[in-house]
Amino acid sequence: MSKSLEGKTALVTGGSRGIGAEIARGLAREGASVVITYRKSREQAEEVTAELTALGVKAFALQADQADPRQAAAAVEDAAGYLGGRIDVLVNSAGVAAMGMLGQLDSLDDVQQMIATNVTGTIVTTHAAARYLSDGGRVILVGSIVAERIAAPGVAEYAATKAAIDQLARGWARDLGPRGITVNVVRPGATDTDMNPAAGPFAAAQIAGTPLGRFGTTDDIAKAVTFLAGDNAAFISGALLSVDGGFSV
């Protein structure tokens, strides 16, 4: 049985754990060679690349702080070199969250770090990747449903960074469309990760607001990304795909 991404190459930022790691696995299962980036989790990154290699694809991990423009751009250059000079699929998954009520955030530094990672890092990475993106390629940004619906207090600044992701995708869809490159956003709702565990103290309220009555899994998100990376999504661009169990309805 043929794989939908056989022979393709992919760069996944923030691919050492959680949603990013599962996205890397999903792309590799469909035959793509994958480079992931990580900030601190070297051991976890190496474990992920070992898994990918066991699936029969080339895989490599690069250390890069997405909040540092030089490191983010350099990681793209290194990834493109490893992948043979081209990137067919770019997934911007790296992100951080700083939560706090208005007037009660612990540090403005946390907000600046979040903006640098979630917004500036995504911009730098995508601009750096533009010359390596193959015609007909894919750019997929991992956003959040909070860009559309803020159902709890204390997330305004985080939501603003994810709303920026939505608009970047819409604009880049125009910029890259003439080359046949699609740009889309996958917007997770409550997803079971170490940052927001399904057994955590805030889980019950999130589940209560989700029609399907459960947290999403990282695999739920990865499947949406893999779909957008494949040929069946060739005429989908500028879309905001909510993977949230109906939370946003």
* Catalytic residue (one of 38, 82, 132, 158): 158
Structure tokens at 29: 């299962």
Nearest to 148 by CA among 118, 189, 113: 189
Neighbours of 164 (CB within 10 A): 18
Cβ burial, residue 107 (10 Å; 0-12/13-18/19+): exposed
Nearest to 193 by CA among 43, 28, 17, 23: 17
Q: Look up 158 and say whether it is catalytic.
A: yes
Nearest to 36 by CA among 58, 6, 4: 58
Residue 99: what residue type?
M
Residue 215: what residue type?
F
List the catalytic residues: 158
